[in-house]
Amino acid sequence: MRDSKNVEPVGAPDTQPKASPYMRLPDRQFWSKAVQPADFKSVENIYTKKFSIEGLDTATAGSCFAQHVAKNLKLNGYTVLDLEPGLPSVAGMVAKRFGYDTYSARYGNIYTTRRLRQLAEEAAGLMKPDADDLVWSRANRYWDALRPSVEPKGLASPQEVLLQRADHVSRVRRLLERAKLFVFTFGLTEAWMSRRSGLVYAQAPGTPIEGRLVGSYDESAHAFVNFRVQDVYDDFVAFRKIAHSFNPEMKFLVTVSPVPLAVSAVDTHVLAATVRSKAVLRAAAAQLYEDFADVDYFPSFELLSTPFLGAARFEEDKREVQPRAVAMVMRHFFSEHPPLDGKRLRTASQEDVVCEEALLKAFSK
């Protein structure tokens, strides 16, 4: 620790009276200048990049909103890795249905940082899920509990699930070795896990996929968890450490999904549960941004979820983001990271975004 007696005050010594520290701040830091006269389209300087991402092989993961980021990066000339592609004959919605062409590996949506951490630990050989926790079954069909949506009809045997899992994890390992930028969208704080091992699942056991219940909920075997700020922060720091063990040069770009919860397992109003969840995720993202030079934050959540920039930007269900709003958010992003091919900015179609959490709407009927 430095001797406080020898610490010089910041700035040159000045015996003259000083103006307020707020006197020379830029316009972007004053509400009356940066927000009050602005709207969603015209608000400026809400995002200033911490580092350039040009030329960085990019991996993407996270909640369903992260798919928008991945699609737009690809369309504008950035290299987005896909180390678990489908066959050339499988494309479009068929590929999406089986988890292909969505992220940089076929892991489906990763809603929590705990799930991201555990996947990295698995890829690094630091943990191996027990088959009893990993394989869900129902009516003689079997699913990988960590990514059940990628095989909506299930597989024929537990052995087939384990073989697919081993191949998937090997591809995630290669992804961590190659990626120079990892883009992750924080989605949820609520999750379900194995009481025995603490393994966090991709979704609640017994949730329907394409009308078929996948797995079965057992109160003695499954537990609900609602992560706090420190949990989210610690999990991402642990993920970052593992990622750097594969590739010390890797940088990280994080966002918070603006999409509200479809349903909450907490005994409170779903609106209150949504605000709690997003506040936790946003606070953790802020800490990561402030603590690490290789972590940047893009404010998609602020652009879409605050009432200060004009009319609502969600569809009638108040969950799905309007396509034109997503396009405008991407314009803010690419104002700092311009298209690489020298062409005008292009925005991707907002169709075919897969969001497993929306499957929980089935229980509202």
- The answer on pLDDT for 10 being more than 70 is no
- The answer on pLDDT for 70 being more than 60 is yes
Q: What structural domains does the chain harbor?
A: 49-128+172-201+224-359 (3.40.50)
Percent of the chain with pLDDT over 90: 61
pLDDT category, 39, cuts 50, 70, 90? confident
Q: What is the pTM of this model?
A: 0.89
Give SS3 for 150.
helix
Amino acid at 79: T
Helices 158-178 and 113-123 pack at an angle, to 10 degrees, of: 90
pLDDT tens column, 286-312: 999 999 999 999 999 999 888 887 776
Amino acid 257: pLDDT: 92
Amino acid 251: pLDDT: 98
Amino acid 16: pLDDT: 66
Percent of the chain with pLDDT over 70: 90
Amino acid at 275: V
Task: Report the C-alpha gap between 113 and 250 in whole angstroms.
Answer: 17
pLDDT tens column, 142-183: 999 999 999 999 999 999 999 999 999 999 999 999 999 999
| Torsion, CA 161, CA 167, CA 172, CA 174, rounded to 10 | 180
Mean pLDDT in residue range 316-331:
85
How far separated are the first and last CA of the chain, in Å rounded?
A: 61
User: What are φ and ψ of residue 297, in 5° steps?
Assistant: -125, 130
- The answer on pLDDT for 52 being more than 80 is yes
pLDDT category, 362, cuts 50, 70, 90? low
Sign of the C-alpha dihedral computed for residues 96, 99, 104 and 107 taken in this order: positive
Mean pLDDT in residue range 93-110:
87
Mean pLDDT in residue range 76-94:
85
Can you say how many angstroms the Cα of residue 199 is from the centroid of all Cα atoms in its chain? 19
- The answer on pLDDT for 5 being more than 50 is no
